[in-house]
Amino acid sequence: MYAFDIERPATVAEAVAALSNEDAQALGGGQTLIPTLKQRLASPEKLVSLTGVAEMKGISSAGGVLTIGGGTTHDDVAADGSYKALSELAANIGDPAVRSRGTIGGSIANNDPSACYPAAALGSGATIVTNEREIAADDYFVGMFETALDEGEIITAVKFPIPEKANYQKFVQPASRFALVGVFVAKTADGVRVAVTGASNEGVHRWTAAEEALSKDFSAGALDGLTVSADDLIADLHGSAEYRAHLVAVMTKRAVAAAS
Amino acid sequence: MTKVTMTINGKSVSGEVEGRTLLSSFLREDLHLTGTHIGCDTSQCGACVVHVDGKPVKSCTMFAAEADGADVATIEGQANADGSLNVIQAAFQEHHGLQCGFCTPGMVMSAAALLKDNHKPSEAEVREYLEGNICRCTGYHNIVKAIMAASGQDVSAIAAE
Amino acid sequence: MPKDGGIGASTVRREDVRFLTGTGQYCDDMNMFGQTSAVFARSTVANGVIKSIDTSAAEAMPGVLAVFTGEDFVEVGGNPAGWLINSRDGEPMKEPKRPVLAHGKVRHVGDAYAAVIAETIEQAKDAVEAIEADIEELPALVNMKDALAADHYVHDEIGTNQCFDWGWIEDNRAATDAAIKGAHHVTTLELVNNRLVPNAMEPRCSMAQYNRANDEYVLHTTSQNPHLTRLLISAFVLGIPENKLTVIAPDVGGGFGSKIYHYGEEALVLAAAKKIGRPVKWTADRTEAFLTDAHGRDHVTKIELAMDKDGNFLAFRTETMANVGAYLSNFSTATPTFLHGTLMAGNYTVPNVYVNVKAVFTNTAPVDAYRGAGRPEATFSLERVIDKAAREIGMDPIELRRKNFIKPDQYPFASAAGLEYDSGNYDALMDQMEKVADVAGFEARRKASEKKGKLRGFGVNAYIEACGIAPSNLVGVLGSRVGLYDAATVRVNATGNLSVMVGAHSHGQGHETAFPQVVAEMLGIDPQSIDIVHGDTSKIPFGMGTYGSRSLAVCGSAVVRATEKIINKAKKIAAHMLEASDGDIELKDGVFSVAGTDKSVTFGEVALKAYIPHEFPLEDIEPGLEETAFYDPANFTYPSGAYCCEVEVDPETGKVTVESMTAVDDFGNVINPMIVTGQVHGGLGQGIGQALLENTTYDENGQLLSASYMDYVMPRADDLPFYTVDHSQGNACTHNPLGVKGCGEAGAIGSPPTVVNAVIDALQSGGKSVTHIDMPMTPHRVWSAMQNA
């Protein structure tokens, strides 16, 4: 690692101030950033650790909306249980030691194309809350590792409207244990949302054809005959684009069948 | 350099660290607690697992500065007060849950974290919990068996000598 | 048996206590006063000409003490190949020099061309980035077939990418061809034995000290065989006299073959320690381990099995291309030849066997012995083609194997591939396997799986392997440049406890527990009074180390021989003390007595007398009680086994899960069943990993795509089942004093074809006409095979 300083602000305001330095970078749980720093692939002058910001931690529920502080660990989301599909998803991110440190804000800010949380946020129609504004998930995820966040902007919370039914199915990439393909399905009064991670060069995205079919008939059978184009899907040593396309359909069906 | 103070295995310790000093480096290089091992660069092998404020953490993926004020437990503090092996360590020995020993500290620390929350884990629960701990020697059979035995379950039906 | 466990006891391991309490001492756990750090500059291209290297900026960086390039090692020797292979035409293999640091060309991604020594590791890394290397990239040779056809070379000076073209046994070639030509049925299979990265959990680490006062060096290094490392450094690479170089392999975190070999980093830190006059340490990170540890396997093979109309085997003919990577690692030429071709008769009475192996240089990391080393490749080819043949002729795969097994009354049996098997009973192993795995109940389990929407398959395998490669006289004739004995010194201390210095190295195998069981059994004393000393060339006799499942069979035999010498001398001392004739002295439970009398002295009293030799017959017996033995085996040991497994395949995703795995092995006599079982478990984990998960993937430019645990699939606990392991059917080895056979590699040898056979069975049960899928059988590959079937 290159040398850098670490600051540990106690409030969002302090964190924002610390991040105003253009060579400063936010540090969440560090489960992605620290390995990156070890490879000397990043050279911030200052890391602003968000783990000490108490106001960014915790989970609360009101009016059918679950609000999760950006600094809340996967472990805490897994233990919460008030949005079952989300807690189950969190319980399967990485491994227990990663879940002790990794945070929802860090994951969503990073927007790894194979990460789980982006699928939950997009699939649930969540709202990303920052120190400056609120961003609908549909507007937030721009592409692989790209988001609507500005420099120095911090995710302070994510608001999840709790759907009638939901489920996440992950087919793991067997080495990294990220999603080779992951599908989050949520059924709400307004219809069904299907978000796919791991599959696309564009990052997390919605499968609208499946949403339409499922909005009419929320059953795995409603997806019969629906296929996903392999165009622009990820192909790597763990699976071809065609295989990923196939898995999207399989995982979607399984998520619908398991939704509760 | 920043001054950090933390409790490690029940004792208060202080040190001067750089921003980039990992908790694992602080333990190994500054405190000579070399039972915590480094087996990879990508936060996956789990040889470096310690407990920070009661939770399992990969000490190679946390900065020492972030552990300022924390309560840290490492493999060196796991034995009973009289120096004898604790129940998990003893089960690993009894059931031959280690060979080269390199992954063992992380395995023991992960096992301790599991058993704190889940007093009688099933085979599947143990295997899933060890997702972040890689062992190349044992094929995991005796590790899983040892952890189940440490939880007080009867493992005599699980094949082995 | 002694009270705390002699031969046959599942004594818990004494070494566990230090590993479980974090007090093990692995190489990287040690720091020396004044220590500095070495970091290597490694090639980012697979093939390139080094036009220039400018180190001046790096040398001026803070904390930098020295910078080395290949130029600094032009005058020293190369890291040699340990086994000379002659091609079919009699020409010796090509042996291009393997330098300490690349010079002239870089030949694989990760090839080190410079090294920085600095006060801290981060300063050294900073300085490595400041080295200006002008390296002109050349097209990479990655695929073996392409490399053989290419008109440019990994090593320009040899003018070919073929290291050798070996035939075994060349005199059998015509008969094998004729048998295949005239056969009733010939089954042909083309397969890949996938390249693996050993991935010992402890990355390599080397730390050198130089003492100017007496011109002595100490190298702490992650080695399976410190004496071999010292010999290679002394006699071939740096020319440091052996008496001036101590090599210490302390606690070592697994090896699996990858730590047999001498690597350039060891030579570099030694040279650097002398130059700067301070200790120098280098510890690999995991990426370096992936890029530079010797890899394993990587064969591309065509095998044919000829049978008569009744299914009797007539011939096996094999053509293999074996990748040796960019340089010859120390045993890279022995692995695909004498450790592979000689096993190509398997457990069978087949009369004709011929094997052709072409070894190929490519712009990839060197490939060498990895757990099993040649025998997994042999077993995989044989047991896959036999399974395919059984399906083609409609015979049960177990029946076809049994029909061709060597029978118990045929030992010693001269195999058609040139080995003499000493003992075995393959039908008995198969019987036991069928019993403990409840093979009869498989159909019911298959139906239960089908109810869940899964395809269930059953796979079987019979293997034989050869361990403890020997004897030196024979291997010398076959091209080995080393002897393959081992050594032990038993030192009885004056107060009656023992230090046993052994040439084998324990890095997970439990020697510190098992070897004392042997000595304790022979002497009738408490094993806790016996300590094993290993890993330090200044303390132990010259031994060849640990690999090829040799430690107990070879080094353990040396321990027996040395202990026998101790007993003989102790009896003389006891006879003197008891005023009797040595021939009348009996040793039982640690007490020497005169036969037929109640006169006795304890082992401890004899030990004390040996070191305080008052009233001692100095004219007949020297004082002291310490004996050394070197043991050179008469033959290999031949473990064998019958394995089976059951898998489930998810037809929607292609994901395979191993539902059960049964290993029934003949290891001869067993010293510590708990440790032996653990060895099998580990091999099974690695073998299932090879079959389903692990692959080493280079792209067409020679970039390693699977260079971290993010992409190289290490088996995890949730990928594997509980195993059933049985070694009740042992037939003692006939030629070593313990009657033991090697057990360290069996699991990795027996399991891969078992798993593949089971997956093929599952797919065929689902109506798919799939006859082969290359390993690893990833979900993607299985799904693709199902789409195309």
Domain ranges of chain A: 5-49, 54-161, 165-258
Total Cβ atoms within 10 A of residue A166: 27
Mean pLDDT of A225-237: 96
Any chain A CB within 8 A of the CB of C651? no
Confidence category of residue C761, pLDDT binned at 50, 70, 90: very high
pLDDT at C1: 55
Q: B157 pLDDT band (50/70/90 cuts)? A: confident
Spatial CB neighbours of C257, under 8 Å, sequence gap ≥ 6: C198, C224, C294, C296, C368, C369, C370, C371, C373, C547
| Tokens 């098997």 found at | C421
Query: Which residue in C407, C496, C460 sits closest to C662, CA to CA?
Result: C460
Pick from C285, C653, C711: CB nearest A175: C711
pLDDT of residue A26: 96
Rounded to an integer, the average pLDDT of A217-227 is 96
Size of interface A-B (CB pairs under 8 A): 81
Taking CA atoms, C521 is separated from C4, C389, C558, C565, C583, in Å, by: 10, 48, 15, 15, 21
- pLDDT at residue B160 greater than cutoff 70: no
In CATH, A165-258 is 1.10.3720.10:
no
The single-letter code of the amino acid at C708 is S
Chain-chain contact of C711 with A237 (C-beta, under 8 angstroms): yes
Pairwise CA distance, residues A225 & A190, whole Å: 24
Determine contact: C25 vs chain A, CB below 8 A: no
Q: Does domain A54-161 have CATH number 1.10.10.10?
A: no
CA closest to C695 among chain A residues: A237
Q: Which of C722, C726, C727 to mutate to test the interface with B (most CBs of B within 10 A)?
A: C722
As a whole number, mean pLDDT of residues B5-34 equals 98
Contact indicator for C85, C93 with CB cutoff of 8 Å: yes
Tell me the three state secondary structure of residue C126.
Answer: helix
pLDDT at C459: 98
User: Average pLDDT over chain A, rounded to whole?
Assistant: 97
Contact C11, C257 (CB under 8 A): no
List, for residues C479-524, the tens digit of each pLDDT value. 999 999 999 999 999 999 999 999 999 999 999 999 999 999 999 9
Chain A: give the shortest CA distance to residue B145, in Å: 19
Out of C693, C710, C719, name the one closest to residue A176 (CB): C710
Residue C376 has which token pair?
A: 């997994």
Q: Give the position of tokens 């199902």.
A: C786
Report which of A167, A187, A179 is spatially closest to residue A233, judged by C-alpha positions: A179
CATH fold match for the domains B2-76 and B87-150: no
Structure tokens at C717: 């606990």
Interface test mutation site (partner A, options C197, C653, C695, max chain A beta carbons within 10 A): C653
Q: What is the pLDDT of residue C492?
A: 98
Query: What's CA C324's distance to the chain center, in Å?
Result: 16
Pairing assessment for the beta strands C498-502 and C530-533 based on DSSP bridges: parallel
For C304-354, how does the pLDDT look when each residue is reduced to its tens digit (9 = 90+)?
999 999 999 999 999 999 999 999 999 999 999 999 999 999 999 999 999
8 Å CB contact between C117 and C268: no
Average pLDDT, chain C: 97
Residue B4 has pLDDT above 60, yes or no: yes
Query: How close does chain A come to B161, measured CA to CA in Å?
Result: 31
Pairwise CA distance, residues C530 & C291, whole Å: 41
On whether the CB atoms of residues C168 and C343 are closer than 8 A, the answer is no
A56's tokens: 């960014």
- Reported as a single tens digit per residue, the pLDDT across C351-375 is 999 999 999 999 999 999 999 999 9
Q: What is the pLDDT of residues C621-635, one digit of tens each?
A: 999 999 999 999 999
Higher pLDDT, C1 or A91: A91
Phi, psi of C453 (to 5 degrees): 85, 15
Chains that touch B (3 or more CB pairs under 8 A): A, C
Chain C residues whose CB is inside 8 A of the B37 CB are: 26, 201-202, 253
pLDDT at position C5 is: 82
* Contact call for residues A251 and A181 (beta carbons, < 8 A): yes
CA distances from C274 to C73, C217, C270, C352 (A): 14, 8, 6, 56
* Residue A175 contacts C where some CB pair is shorter than 8 Å: yes
The percent of residues above 90 in pLDDT, for chain C, comes to 99
Amino acid type, C424: G
Least Cα distance to A134 among A108, A118, A156, A116 occurs for A156
The pLDDT assigned to C535 comes to 98
Instruction: Look at residue C2 in the predicted model and tell me its pLDDT.
Output: 62
Q: Do A95 and B132 touch (CB under 8 A)?
A: yes
Nearest-by-Cβ selection for B102 from C253, C675, C686: C253
Can you tell me the distance from the alpha carbon of C718 to that of C720, in angstroms, rounded to the nearest whole number?
A: 6
CATH of B2-76, one of 3.40.50.150, 3.40.50.720, 3.40.50.970, 3.10.20.30: 3.10.20.30
Which residue(s) pair with A171 in the sheet?
Answer: A181
Is residue B36 less than 8 Å (CB to CB) from chain C? yes
Cross-strand partners of A173: none
> DSSP 3-state helix, strand, coil percentages of chain A (rounded to 5)?
35, 30, 40
d(CA A119, CA A5): 33
Please indicate whether, in this complex, the C-beta atoms of C723 and B159 are within 8 angstroms of each other.
yes
Q: Decide if C480 contacts C488 (C-beta within 8 A).
A: no
Min Cα–Cα distance to chain A from B21, Å? 9
Query: According to the model, what pLDDT value does residue C508 have?
Result: 96
Give dist(CA C464, CA C746) in Å, integer: 9
pLDDT tier for residue A109 given thresholds of 50, 70 and 90: very high
pLDDT grade, residue B159 (50/70/90)?
low
Contact C685 B143 (CB under 8 A): no
Q: Which two tokens stand for residue C267?
A: 């030579």
Does the distance separating the beta carbons of A176 and C693 come in below 8 Å?
Answer: no
Indicate the domain borders of chain B.
2-76, 87-150
pLDDT of B158 reads 85
CATH fold for the domain made of A5-49 = 3.30.43
pLDDT of residue C19: 98
Residue among A196, A205, A208 nearest A244 (CA)? A196
Assigned CATH for B87-150: 1.10.150.120
Residue C262 main-chain phi, psi, to 5 deg: -80, 135
Rounded (5°) CA angle C314-C320-C322: 150
Reduced to 3 states (helix: H, G, I; strand: E, B; else coil), residue A259 is coil
**pLDDT tens by residue, B81-107:** 999 999 999 999 999 999 999 999 999
- Give the length of chain A: 260
Q: With beta carbons under 8 A apart, name residues in chain C contacting A176.
A: 709-711
pLDDT in tens, C678-711: 999 999 999 999 999 999 999 999 999 999 999 9
**Complete domains list, chain C, with CATH:** 31-81+99-139+199-292 (3.90.1170.50), 299-469+635-788 (3.30.365.10), 485-631 (3.30.365.10)
